Structure 1
Amino acid sequence: MKRLQYSLVASTALGLIFSLGAPAQAEEDIPIRVGLADSVRQVSLRVSTSTPVEVLGNIGWQRLGHLSANTALQVDFNQGQIKVNIQSNNQTFKALRIGSTQQDGALVALNNAWYRGNLTLMPSSTRKGITVVNEVPLEHYLYSVVPSEMPSSWPLEALKSQAVAARTYAISSLGSYKNKGYDVVATTASQVYQGVKAESSLSTQAVAQTDGEIMKHGGKPIHAYFHSCSGGQTESGVDLWAPFAYLKSVPDYDQASPKHIWNTELSQSEVKAKLSNLGIRVGNILSLDPLKRTNSGRVKTMRVLGSQGQKSVDGAKLRMALGLNSTFFNVGAINANGELQKQPDANATPVSFQFAGRGWGHGMGMSQWGARQLALNGHAYRNILQHYYQGVQIERLNKTQFRMAYNP
């Protein structure tokens, strides 16, 4: 470790000022680790203020200095290690951490996108590139998630509903990617997180006014799934992949959504190619027939009838493959005359398929457009949440106890 210290001390001209101050006091909020990039070969970094730098050596993480404000770095993956280039000077480390979760107002940038907290760069679990993780206090994470998931121009009570749902989802997701070194990702696979560029005053107010509040059922944080709009009726978790008592099918109030009702048409060649990507190759597609629907009417299983056979496919997989807004749809085959075929005909291959559907998303849990309408109708965020998540309790999380028990 002494060799690394010497290397950094000798580099003060490059913007690194050696400092071994006392460790900061433990933060009050719960940290969450967001995977921003995985197995990338190169990234660029920048800091907004004088920022602490730590590197991983043989005896763990040690603080070795500070980066001066506005310092830019290029980081490459080099033979299983992290190579840092500062003003044409290269140094190599096992891992690198820049920034601090306890330094208010300090920002770090990854490829020109600014984030609160710190950035950790380490070899990916596959050892094929760099994994970049943003560790940030949970409430600051929500400053970005809430407006990334729901327009910040919407009513405050709707935004507060989103804040509690997003916080609960985050808490229940901690450790989901533990083998990769983070808790959640920054995409819809977890929750959309765009850093500080997404933040807005009203959504930040919604986070602050619900500070620490989460939903529980049976004394445990729930899986707070949410979606854009349901098309008038949300889905029961039992009918999909989340058999939880609080995820019941309830009426929705999403009529103002542009996706409340939708129509789309796909050509024979488009459907054939997209189904081929799922491994379904049955010649020309003659018909798409729902074999099983959920109680709310969503397609659970679809039969694909072709000129060379037939196969069944899961409704959710079909939706993703075809790029449909939801599984809440009917479908008809259109012939060469532009008419709807009443039944499959091997001698008259459809030229296209017309989908008439409702809603956007999986349909479980809170409908964001429904929450908006309920807020406009005068409902408070707790009432909104308890409509979409049946039988839950909304409680303030004891962050100190949780932080002591949580071991990432």
Structure 2
Amino acid sequence: MTFKASWKRLSLSIAALLVLVSTLSVQPSRAAVPALDTIRVAMFLQLPGKYESLTAAATLQSAGGIKIGTRGPAGTSEWFTVEANRSVRFAVDDYKVKLIETANFANAWSVYQHVQSARGMGYISSVSKNGGTLYQVFEGTYGSAQESAAALGRWNADAKLTGLLGGFKPAQHGPLRLESPALESKAAAQTLAASIGGAGLDAYVAVRAGAKGAVYSVMVGGASTADELKTLQAAAAKAPSGASLKPADTASPYLLIRADHGVSGKADSALELYAFPAGDMKVWAAPGGAQPIGLTERSNRTYRGSFELSAFNGKLAVINELPFEQYLYSVVAVEMYTSWPIEALKAQAVAARSYALNKGFGFQIAHVVDTTLSQAYYGTGVEKSSSTEAVEATKGEVALYNGKVIETVYSSNGGGMTADARDVWKNEIPYLQSVPSPDSSAEAGLQSWYRVVLPSGLVGYVREDLVKDTGQKTAAGSRILEMTTDGTNIRRHPAIQDAIPVIAQVQRGSRVIELEKVIQSNPMNWVRGPFTGDELLKAINARVNPKLTGTVTSVEVSARGISGRATEMSVNGTKVVLSSPDSIRSTFGVGESLPSTLFNVEETGKVVVQGAGGAQSTKTDGQRPLYVMGADGKSTSYTQNYMYVLDGDGDIRAATKDPAFSFAGTGFGHGVGMSQYGALSLAQQGYDYQYILKYYYKGITIAKE
């Protein structure tokens, strides 16, 4: 729905359709204002069609230690404690494919890296076996033997993997095992596992809950079927203490402990990985002290509250549960600059609180996710005193329309005019109407860029402080500029971002010709392109059905909404079928989504040629040659990539030889609801947070529980 009101972070805002507030997630207070004590935030979750964020394992650590246990209807049960600053991993103990088993760590690591590059769910672990250490690489988190068999077939067809295996034959690996009786300690379990491993069997320490704390045992093997388990039992009977091994009860909670090398990447350094059964078991990880818990797979961020890990829809689900108001400490700090006026931050706090309450259990086992599909949530590391103050000062306050919490969607910049909900999602919502928005504050302090022609004929942008005026001009009156630094990047768009391609590098003293001067692309004003017809065709066809065919020769906005935003696009005169007007941003963006749908399209390959007797001809592509007459009266075919056209006002237009399309627009995000830069401007003018909210959300009231 939202994203940080920041050009630097460039996280795109995404909005879903309205979801009614679940009565399971919010309970009415005496004032009939919804309240929520704790919120569940999905960090990793498999929810096909709505949200998919997957990880093979989750790595937790805390400076204060972590209490590990289980969670059930009756509450939580602590099993054991992980000491301070020690990292441990968690994964689902389900069906997998064993890709390799070798004494050579380098070989195993190469296989593991290949799995990662192929976007597989990989694990690399070690086991004491046959008197030495063997390294094993597993792939997948599959719900059945049939699924892992299909995966085995896919990996066997991978020619590169086959070359890395050195003759090892991949096989299925399942969660069916044998188990020893309970042992007196973890050390005793480690000794027995080493003894059984010496007989050539995979043996692991396991832990279960006992009446007086953790109880340890040894689990052996990894069968996928009942027949495989019988074969395993026959082989185990010949091993030391093998007669005591019985089929493990995989229906009751347990943690199987593996030595995992995926984080360290070293043979002599491993973390304990706790694998839990893919049933109803929920692992509970709570801070052992006052320090938050870190999650390595989320950029090593640290989080308040506790973590719940479970198997959901066949994949590892990682949920952070914490006090609702403390969740907002992070959201407000991410979604809005913490240096902005406190009234703007208060407006953001009420909007963020209302949005979360409006969604209820929007993700089945979680209220929200930690990405911009809900609201950006980055844990404790981003919290600042100003944003926390804004949350505390508005504690419990929400925006209501007709007595119900509204969906307080917001975006970075409204581009001078916010969008009506109909402009973006086709649904009419009385409090989400188009209003003028004072958004130009986004341009404060930004530098200008020159669009220039290089000696090579390429056209791009360079920042104004990297060139100087030579005082000379071309015959057409354009200024000639000179580069003042070596290795200066000429960019496709006037901004420095990783997603913006560098088209050339030029050295000090090189001269370029100025075409125009523009403000740096920002959340208020931006340019993208020109994109070639082939680039647009590839981008569009990645997201639409039916696919477009043929060469793209024209692109136009064929319908606009109340706020002037594009609501329909046509390519080659035919309407493009889109899921919603807002999807125009992702569909027509090359390399990245367009910042907003409030834009104009320039067909840079389109040129109107004035002929004899006033006759006009329109050139739209490079199929027909264009002839230019020189001073000697002779004409020649023009073959350069760009043609420079001077209009009556002296402005020069860089027309492309082949069809290409440039987008120039205003605003950043979907544009519905509160504009964050608009909130900044209103706060700077002295308006308070309630005025700001009521300005952007029509007909609402602000209430507190």
Do the aligned partners of residues 215 and 58 (structure 1) sit closer, same or farther apart at CA in structure 2, a change above 3 Å counting? closer
Q: Residue 373 of structure 1 is aligned with which of 681, 689, 700? A: 681
Aligned partner of 2:533 in structure 1 is: 268
Do the aligned partners of residues 173 and 164 (structure 1) sit closer, same or farther apart at CA in structure 2, a change above 3 Å counting? same
After TM superposition, the score normalised by the length of structure 1 is 0.81
> Separation in 2 of the partners of 1:344 and 1:162?
47
Q: Report 1:219-238 matches (<5 A).
A: 219-238=403-422
Q: Residue 64 of structure 1 is aligned with which of 79, 91, 110? A: 79
Q: Tell me, what secondary structure is at the counterpart of 1:256? A: helix
> Separation in 2 of the partners of 1:58 and 1:184?
22
Q: Tell me, what secondary structure is at the counterpart of 1:384? A: helix
Q: Tell me, what secondary structure is at the counterpart of 1:182? A: coil
State whether residues 133 and 182 of structure 1, in contact with CA within 8 Å, keep that contact through their aligned partners in structure 2: yes
CA offset at residue 171 of structure 1?
0.6
> Separation in 2 of the partners of 1:380 and 1:150?
16
> Separation in 1 of the partners of 2:672 and 2:72?
46
> Separation in 1 of the partners of 2:434 and 2:90?
49
RMSD over equivalenced CA pairs, Å: 2.8
State whether residues 62 and 292 of structure 2, in contact with CA within 8 Å, keep that contact through their aligned partners in structure 1: yes
Residue 59 of structure 2 corresponds to residue 44 of structure 1: yes
Q: Tell me, what secondary structure is at the counterpart of 1:286? A: coil
Q: Deviations over 1:319-361 (max 9, x none)?
A: 112120001011021128899x978569468432011111001
> Separation in 1 of the partners of 2:272 and 2:575?
61
> Separation in 1 of the partners of 2:618 and 2:336?
41
> Separation in 1 of the partners of 2:524 and 2:533?
26
> Separation in 1 of the partners of 2:387 and 2:353?
13
Aligned partner of 2:374 in structure 1 is: 190
Residue 559 of structure 2 corresponds to residue 292 of structure 1: yes
Do the aligned partners of residues 311 and 29 (structure 1) sit closer, same or farther apart at CA in structure 2, a change above 3 Å counting? closer
Residue 693 of structure 2 corresponds to residue 385 of structure 1: yes
Q: Deviations over 1:131-154 (max 9, x none)?
A: 100011111101110011111111
> Separation in 2 of the partners of 1:151 and 1:69?
33
CA offset at residue 124 of structure 1?
2.4
Q: Tell me, what secondary structure is at the counterpart of 1:316? A: helix
Q: Tell me, what secondary structure is at the counterpart of 1:357? A: strand
Do the aligned partners of residues 358 and 392 (structure 1) sit closer, same or farther apart at CA in structure 2, a change above 3 Å counting? same
CA offset at residue 69 of structure 1?
2.7
Residue type of the alignment partner of 1:369 = Y
State whether residues 214 and 396 of structure 1, in contact with CA within 8 Å, keep that contact through their aligned partners in structure 2: yes
Do the aligned partners of residues 343 and 249 (structure 1) sit closer, same or farther apart at CA in structure 2, a change above 3 Å counting? farther
> Separation in 1 of the partners of 2:68 and 2:619?
68
Q: Deviations over 1:3-27 (max 9, x none)?
A: xxxxxxxxxxxxxxxxxxxxxxxxx
> Separation in 2 of the partners of 1:40 and 1:223?
30
CA offset at residue 84 of structure 1?
5.2
Q: Deviations over 1:66-125 (max 9, x none)?
A: 43332321222221686555864856453211116xx88341111122100011111122
State whether residues 413 and 668 of structure 2, in contact with CA within 8 Å, keep that contact through their aligned partners in structure 1: yes
> Separation in 1 of the partners of 2:558 and 2:618?
17
Q: Residue 305 of structure 1 is aligned with which of 572, 579, 599? A: 572
Q: Report 1:172-211 matches (<5 A).
A: 172-178=358-364, 181-211=365-395
Query: Which range is displaced more, 70-79 or 326-335?
Result: 70-79
Q: Residue 303 of structure 2 is aligned with which of 115, 125, 133? A: 115
Q: Residue 320 of structure 1 is aligned with which of 583, 586, 610? A: 586
Q: Deviations over 1:253-301 (max 9, x none)?
A: 0012232121111222211110121243221111112222101110111
Residue 397 of structure 2 corresponds to residue 213 of structure 1: yes
Residue type of the alignment partner of 1:278 = R
Aligned partner of 1:406 in structure 2 is: none
Could you tell me which runs of 5 or more consecutive residues in structure 1 were left unpaired when the two chains were aligned: 1-27, 398-408
Residue type of the alignment partner of 1:319 = R
> Separation in 1 of the partners of 2:595 and 2:619?
25
Residue type of the alignment partner of 2:538 = A
State whether residues 167 and 214 of structure 1, in contact with CA within 8 Å, keep that contact through their aligned partners in structure 2: yes
State whether residues 328 and 352 of structure 2, in contact with CA within 8 Å, keep that contact through their aligned partners in structure 1: yes
Q: Tell me, what secondary structure is at the counterpart of 2:353? A: helix
CA offset at residue 65 of structure 1?
3.9
Q: Residue 312 of structure 2 is aligned with which of 96, 103, 124? A: 124
Identity of aligned residues (%): 33
> Separation in 2 of the partners of 1:189 and 1:338?
44
Residue type of the alignment partner of 1:379 = Y
Query: Which range is displaced more, 384-393 or 76-85?
Result: 76-85
Residue type of the alignment partner of 1:158 = A
State whether residues 285 and 350 of structure 1, in contact with CA within 8 Å, keep that contact through their aligned partners in structure 2: no
Q: Residue 146 of structure 1 is aligned with which of 332, 335, 338? A: 332
Do the aligned partners of residues 216 and 51 (structure 1) sit closer, same or farther apart at CA in structure 2, a change above 3 Å counting? same
State whether residues 386 and 392 of structure 1, in contact with CA within 8 Å, keep that contact through their aligned partners in structure 2: yes
Do the aligned partners of residues 287 and 204 (structure 1) sit closer, same or farther apart at CA in structure 2, a change above 3 Å counting? same
CA offset at residue 184 of structure 1?
0.7
Q: Report 1:246-265 matches (<5 A).
A: 246-257=431-442, 258-265=522-529
After TM superposition, the score normalised by the length of structure 2 is 0.48
Aligned partner of 1:3 in structure 2 is: none
Q: Deviations over 1:151-188 (max 9, x none)?
A: 1111111111100000000111120001xx21111111
Could you tell me which runs of 5 or more consecutive residues in structure 2 were left unpaired when the two chains were aligned: 1-34, 46-53, 95-142, 144-174, 176-254, 260-270, 443-521, 610-616, 625-656
State whether residues 328 and 357 of structure 1, in contact with CA within 8 Å, keep that contact through their aligned partners in structure 2: yes
Aligned partner of 2:169 in structure 1 is: none
State whether residues 42 and 130 of structure 1, in contact with CA within 8 Å, keep that contact through their aligned partners in structure 2: yes
Q: Tell me, what secondary structure is at the counterpart of 2:572? A: strand
CA offset at residue 58 of structure 1?
10
> Separation in 1 of the partners of 2:575 and 2:669?
27
Query: Which range is displaced more, 90-99 or 30-39?
Result: 90-99
Q: Deviations over 1:370-391 (max 9, x none)?
A: 0001001111111111100111
Aligned partner of 1:33 in structure 2 is: 40
Do the aligned partners of residues 278 and 392 (structure 1) sit closer, same or farther apart at CA in structure 2, a change above 3 Å counting? same
> Separation in 1 of the partners of 2:420 and 2:367?
27
State whether residues 40 and 367 of structure 2, in contact with CA within 8 Å, keep that contact through their aligned partners in structure 1: yes
